[in-house]
Structure 1
Amino acid sequence: MSDAFTTRMIDVATGSSETVHDLTAVCADFLREAAGGRDGLLNVFVPHATAGVALIETGAGSDDDLLTALHQLLPADDRWQHRHGSPGHGRDHVLPAIVPPHATLPVVGGQLQLGTWQSVCLVDTNRDNPNRQVRLSFIG
């Protein structure tokens, strides 16, 4: 059985543009408080039907490349059966099947263990919902 479980909901303003929002610093801040130097797991969960969590390099163009790939794979047009919201919004409801709404990551000595260029990111293509929540949970 674990020694500790801590969870916190954070608010993220994504605005009215499609975005890949870096959560890595927020995760590290949370772990400084929640992990207390312990080993364990960090779960990042987005409780929305139209957003996901990705591990991706940011700042070198990969975040824009991801959005471009999602546009090619999930065009924002009228082909979708789900038709409320802005045109093409039905694709946003398919996004979590491709970019899952969660990630579970190792924590060693209270530090998130990511690869050199990995960042924890919220992927949000839904321009109709400018405010998101992300649940961070540490078990260790």
Structure 2
Amino acid sequence: MPIAPPVLTEEEFQALQDVLNARSNGTRAKRRETSLPIGAAHCAGCGGRMYFATRKAYDYGDYVCRASARGTTCPAPAAMRASRLAEYTVSRCPEAFAVDGEVTRERLLSDAVRVTVAKGRSGGGPERPAGPDTSR
């Protein structure tokens, strides 16, 4: 049962929508595609899920430990560039899990794949890990 009578008829509403759509210049930013490791990336420091964080001034995003958002403290919060983590995940999954075919986010989640990212060392020397910590 309606709370009050409608302000517009269905025809008036549709006519208004048509006018608004015609005025739209289509400049709304497109949504980014869902990043591959969402739901599979975990922090080695606290074991919690890592989340995708966009960078306003840049075209890329990072995966970061969000322990503070869960109300806890991580002893070694990890972060990693999203593109590097996705490349690493795609390259390692067929080898690590003996799977054939395309690596998709749905497949990672259905197979309960867990990619653990450890806090890296600062600097770009040879001892810096090239990907997530695979020793765990």
Q: Output the TM-score relative to the length of structure 2.
A: 0.21
Bigger Rg over Cα: 2
More helix by share: 2
With a CA cutoff of 8 Å and minimum separation of 6, indicate the structure with the bigger relative contact order: 1
